[in-house]
Amino acid sequence: MALTLTLSSLSPSLTRRSNPKPTLSCSLSSQPFKCKREYTTVMIVPTGIAAAIGGYAGDALPVARALSSVVDCLISHPNVLNAAMLYWPMPNALYVEGYALDRFAEGSWALQPVHQNRVGLVLDAGIEEELRVRQLQVADAARASLGLPVMEYTVTDTSLKVEKWVDPKTGQSTGRIKHPDSLSRAVNTLVKRSKVNAIAVVGRFPDDEIDDVDDYRQGMGIDLLAGVEAVISHQVVKEFQIPCAHAPAMSPLPMSLSLSPKSAAEEIGYTFLPCVLAGLSNAPQYLAMDSKSLEKGCILANDVDSVILPKDACGGDACLAFARNKSKKPLIITVEENETVLDDTADKFGLEVLHVSNYWEAIGVIAAHKAGIDPFSLRRDKILNIGCSSFKAVNGHTIPR
């Protein structure tokens, strides 16, 4: 807290003096003195790549929570911040859809923080009545118990027909919807009729055989739903340039007595919608980069100080854009412990990054970076004699000729 000195009013006992002097009093202000700009970190765990941390049901959320306590602003995406029936409000975290995060990183879009969005809900016509009622009950509960601004819902004019599969080349999950136009028409209806500026989509996913999802439920396999979920949200964000996130509708799986804690969040309710509505309620708006976005106090790619992601997931658009930013390149940290099915290492793309073993180390590096400290000065024997362009050495140091 800042110390403030103020002039007090004259005491009555001083009014008879010829040269009364004002007295000084001090008070503590609740506003901290700011001498540095805010520190912004982007946390990325690409979806559908079987990430050891973040490849399941919100299991990267603890990392995000820890990061948010260290940095001033945390930017991340639904795969990190969603945990089905669970979520955690972080006032300094921005919930940014993956396609929008890519456009932000490359400098095409800016992020405009908001206090509240008008959220619209799109339900797939292929959802059975009982499952549809469950989704609507979640929406009503979010409105009544959390005060979330979910304005209206609509049902697509035909079933979206979600299809999902694993890409044989990359090993990551992906997919498509057979009727994307139906989704676009539903979103357009809500945008025009209810003036919503954020969209939650619930698509009816095909029910899996138990054997197909057993590894995932044990915390070992790939999330077969995640890839096509990204395809759905990408379509909406690309076409309408507003926040969007997806929640799948499926028949409940039989209870398992040997369930991994990493997957358990998806087993405790009828829908995955609560975290999506919570995230979209105050997700930042996406603005095309121009003079207006600068005037509106938006967050730009050049405001990002550090980026943290798995060691073998460096080939995404966002990472490459940040790494190749010519005006201001952030510190890029790759985490060895967070292995994925990909093989997109920094060396493969010629990127300059800082490798760390785990997220404990990554958060320590970010804390040092924020404090203006060389992270290597915290390590044993990592600071060597200062270098020089000269080749003449004196007492272990180099000096100019």
**Alpha-helical segments (H) within 22-96:** 61-68, 78-81
pLDDT for 214 equals: 82
pLDDT score recorded for residue 93: 97
Range of the domain at 222: 40-288
Confirm whether 398 is domain-assigned. Answer: no
Which pTM does this prediction carry? 0.86
Backbone phi, psi, residue 163, to 5°: -125, 140
Give me the residues of the chain with pLDDT under 50, please: 1-29
Q: Identify whether 378 is part of a domain.
A: no
Other residues' Cβ atoms within 10 Å of the Cβ of residue 170: 17
Write the pLDDT tens digit of every residue in 330-359.
999 999 999 999 999 999 999 999 999 999
The pLDDT value recorded for residue 179 is 97
C-alpha angle 285-42-316 in degrees, rounded to nearest 5: 95
Q: Which residues contact 129 (CB under 8 A, 6 or more apart)?
A: none
Do the domain assignments include residue 385?
no
What value does the CA radius of gyration of the chain take, rounded to a whole number of Å? Answer: 26
* 362 in a structural domain: no
* pLDDT computed for residue 28 by the predictor: 45
Would residue 108 count as lying in a domain? yes
Query: Could you give the number of structural domains in the chain?
Result: 1
Residue 376 within a domain: no
CA distance 127 to 191: 22
Residue 344 has a pLDDT of 96
At which residue do the structure tokens 């460096």 appear? 314
For residue 8, being part of any structural domain is answered with no
In angstroms, the CA 354 to CA 120 distance is 41
